[in-house]
């Protein structure tokens, strides 16, 4: 059996400052009620924060996105100070590992209880050979047009909700097609995001990523990568990307907090060039972040 991770329960985050908001508890014992709406309906939000030698990475951005997702789901605003403290406690307990992660969860709470459920759970990271080996990716439609956030906001596109069954189903479809991962596309022909990652392309000398207005998450890893690359003189741009432009990209990555930048070596069965040096530079810089 694998070693249990580190679990900190966050009590009643919706009520601000209870006497004892954080409680470290054994991670291999039950703590969540079976009536919790996060479990029975996937009604809640989450974040996964990378940790480098005990230092959470992009924590401010993750907390801001947790609050943004809570707003989109009309959950009471999470107490970000308490979630920050919980993340730091988990990170501290995992500080001996060079690389770990912490998942923050906020649910609507047990049915009828009028109190949210929150926790922070962390583990040591696995190795990520994909950073150097690259990944094979297929494009799959998400079934929505790129104006979904305004035409149908109740579909919650752009919120990091707990309802990730669809994202997992898309990954299984990719595996059935012999691939490792997915680039979602919109019905009107735009590139969106991966099921757990942000898409970055190099197009005409620019690093390009699609905008959140297309109904995607603001990626914290992509944002930091763009900042690091811009500081080194690279041109970066956020703009709508047509699916047809994927064929023109001379490099392509899926970026996320734990895997960091995974270079795409095959897209819909077609080989894509991998810029080994730039990928290693991006990953070294991302892994070295201390905040
Ligand atoms: N898009 C989706 C749907 C995700 O689930 C994630 C992360 O899990 C990302 C993008 C990338 O976000 P981040 O770089 O903050 O991990």
Structural domain boundaries in the chain: 6-124, 130-287
Architecture of domain 6-124: 2-Layer Sandwich (3.30)
Q: Give this complex's ipTM.
A: 0.99
> How far is the centre of ligand 1, averaged over its atoms, from the C-alpha of 64 (Å)?
14
> How far is the centre of ligand 1, averaged over its atoms, from the C-alpha of 197 (Å)?
4
Tell me what the mean pLDDT of segment 160-180 comes to. 98
Report which protein residue has its CA nearest ligand 1's atom 10: 197
- DSSP class of residue 169 equals H
> How far is the centre of ligand 1, averaged over its atoms, from the C-alpha of 196 (Å)?
5
**Which DSSP string corresponds to 207-271?**
EEE--GGGT----HHHHHHHHHHHHTT-EEEE---BGGGGGG-SEEEEEETTTEEEEEEEETTEE
Tell me what the mean pLDDT of segment 81-91 comes to. 97
- Please tell me the predicted confidence (pLDDT) of residue 15: 53
> How far is the centre of ligand 1, averaged over its atoms, from the C-alpha of 112 (Å)?
31
Beta partners for 194?
197
Is there an atom of ligand 1 within 6 Å of 257 CB? yes
Beta strands across the sheet bearing 99-107: 22-25, 6-11, 117-124, 99-107, 44-52, 55-56
C-alpha pair distances (Å), 24 with each of 21, 51, 215: 10, 18, 36
On whether the CB atoms of residues 214 and 146 are closer than 8 A, the answer is: yes
Cα angle value 110/148/156 (rounded, 5°):
10
Query: Which tens digits make up the pLDDT trace of 134-154?
Result: 999 999 999 999 999 999 999
> Given CA atoms 9, 11, 16, 18 in this order, what sign does their dihedral have?
negative
Query: Which tens digits make up the pLDDT trace of 123-134?
Result: 999 999 999 999
Is there an atom of ligand 1 within 6 Å of 185 CB? no
Q: Which of 257, 259, 282 to mutate to test the pocket of ligand 1 (most atoms within 8 A of CB)?
A: 257
Region 130-287: CATH code: 3.20.10.10
12: pLDDT strictly greater than 70: no
């Amino acid at each position: 059996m694998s070693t249990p991770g580190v679990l900190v329960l966050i009590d009643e985050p919706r009520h601000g400052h209870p006497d004892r908001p954080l409680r470290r508890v054994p991670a291999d014992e039950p703590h969540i009620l079976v009536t919790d709406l996060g479990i029975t309906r996937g009604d809640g939000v989450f974040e996964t924060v990378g940790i480098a030698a005990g230092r959470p990475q992009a924590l401010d951005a993750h907390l801001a996105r947790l609050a943004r997702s809570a707003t989109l789901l009309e959950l009471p605003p999470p107490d970000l100070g308490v979630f920050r403290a919980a993340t730091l406690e988990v990170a501290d307990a995992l500080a001996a590992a060079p690389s770990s992660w912490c998942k923050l969860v906020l649910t609507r709470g047990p049915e009828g209880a009028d109190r949210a459920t929150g926790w922070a759970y962390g583990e040591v990271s696995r190795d990520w050979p994909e950073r150097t080996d690259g990944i094979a990716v297929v494009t799959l439609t998400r079934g929505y047009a790129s104006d979904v956030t305004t035409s149908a906001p109740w579909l919650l596109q752009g919120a990091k909700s707990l309802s990730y069954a669809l994202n997992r189903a898309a990954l299984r479809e990719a595996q059935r097609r012999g691939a490792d991962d997915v680039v979602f596309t919109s019905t009107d022909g735009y590139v969106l995001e991966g099921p757990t990652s942000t898409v970055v392309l190099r197009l005409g000398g620019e690093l390009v990523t699609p905008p959140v207005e297309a109904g995607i998450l603001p990626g914290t890893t992509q944002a930091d990568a763009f900042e690091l690359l811009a500081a080194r003189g690279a041109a970066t741009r956020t703009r709508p990307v047509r699916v047809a432009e994927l064929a023109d990209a001379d490099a392509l990555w899926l970026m996320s907090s734990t895997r960091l930048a995974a270079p795409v070596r095959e897209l819909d069965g077609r080989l894509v060039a991998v810029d080994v040096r730039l990928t290693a530079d991006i990953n070294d810089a991302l892994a070295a972040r201390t905040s």
